[in-house]
Amino acid sequence: MATRLERASEDLTAKARIRDAALRLFAEQGFEAATIRAIAAAAGVSSGLVRHHFGSKEALRDACDSFALERMIAIKEQAWVVGRLADPGFLASVYPSVLEYQRYVARSMVDGSSASAALFDQMVALTEQWAVAGRLPTTPADPRAFAAALVAMQSGLLMLHDHVSRALGADVLDAAGQIRLGNALVDLYSNPLLTAEQAAQARASYEQVRSRLVDGRADGDSGNDSGIGSDSDSDSGIEG
């Protein structure tokens, strides 16, 4: 199906238009907030047709998941944006449409789609094996944690793209803003944020907390801690 037309935005199948509208509205408003009626209106069809083509709202989400996944697999094993940043011509070939799918996937990760969890793991595994492949200037000590952090952070960039755009005064999803953000990312990825001494100091701080943890107080308060309190901490801050 949908083999007739390849591009041509309005001449798509109604089913494809519904899927595209769902992709966009799910990404923009979240799964709960995006109603079937709003999706149908955005696609220019009746709400009943959504059900006719996709059974239920959850099935529509699944269809969006697998479609976005399929479209992103086409840009295979690029380890999110990071790995391809150094590849000239990467931008022009990729970002026109795939970024939209990445945005959807990133948003669906916080909305708790089941497919997105598997996708996250897949991207982490991909990034991990990219991290240990020796293409990085320095191979991380904990590649899995490194990869998980990197994927989550990169997803945050997409999820908060409108906030980032507002802060920059340019839409980071179109070409102009993308270039500015991309350059900033190159800056961020090519220069360390911490000096070697700072890093060693931080690691020592963690080690100190860790040893205190395995020692005495297991401190097993699980989550619903007061929240009120913890005021009398040292507020000696950054300076000094």
Two tokens at 80? Answer: 């999110």
Is residue 148 a contact residue for a second copy (CB under 8 A)?
A: yes
Instruction: Look at residue 203 and give the partner it binds from a second copy, DNA, none, a contact being a CB closer than 5 to 8 Å depending on partner kind.
Output: a second copy
Query: How many C-beta atoms lie closer than 10 Å to residue 2's C-beta?
Result: 10
Q: State yes or no: residue 24 binds DNA (CB under 7 A).
A: no
Cβ pair 62, 119 in contact under 8 A: no
Binds a second copy by CB under 8 A, chosen from 1, 215, 216, 219: 219
3-state SS, 143-164, equals HHHHHHHHHHHHHHHHHCHHHH
- Looking at beta carbons only, is 11 or 77 nearer to DNA? 11
105 binding a second copy? (CB under 8 A): no
- Rounded to the nearest whole angstrom, what is the least distance from the CB of residue 189 to a second copy in the complex? 4
146's tokens? 């490194």
Q: Tokens in use for 47?
A: 């709400």
Distance of closest approach, residue 30 Cβ to a second copy, in angstroms: 6
Radius of gyration (C-alpha) of the chain in whole angstroms:
22
Residues 39-78, interacting with DNA (CB under 7 A) = 40, 45-49, 51-53, 56-58
Task: State which of positions 43-62 bind a second copy (CB under 8 A).
Answer: none
Residues 6+ apart with CB under 8 A from 159: 103, 106, 107, 110
168 and 175 in contact (C-beta within 8 Å)? Answer: no
Among 35, 66, 190, 198, binds DNA (CB under 7 A): 35
Compute the Cα dihedral for 62, 65, 68, 73 and give only its sign.
negative
> Binding of a second copy at residue 190 (CB under 8 A)?
yes
- Provide the 8-state DSSP code for 217: -
Which of residues 193 and 228 has its CB atom nearest to DNA in the complex? 228
Interface with a second copy, residue 83, by CB under 8 A? yes
CB of 65 to DNA, least distance (A): 16
Residues between 167 and 186 that touch DNA (CB under 7 A): none
Question: Which residues of this protein are in contact with DNA, per CB under 7 A?
Answer: 1, 13-15, 34-38, 40, 45-49, 51-53, 56-58
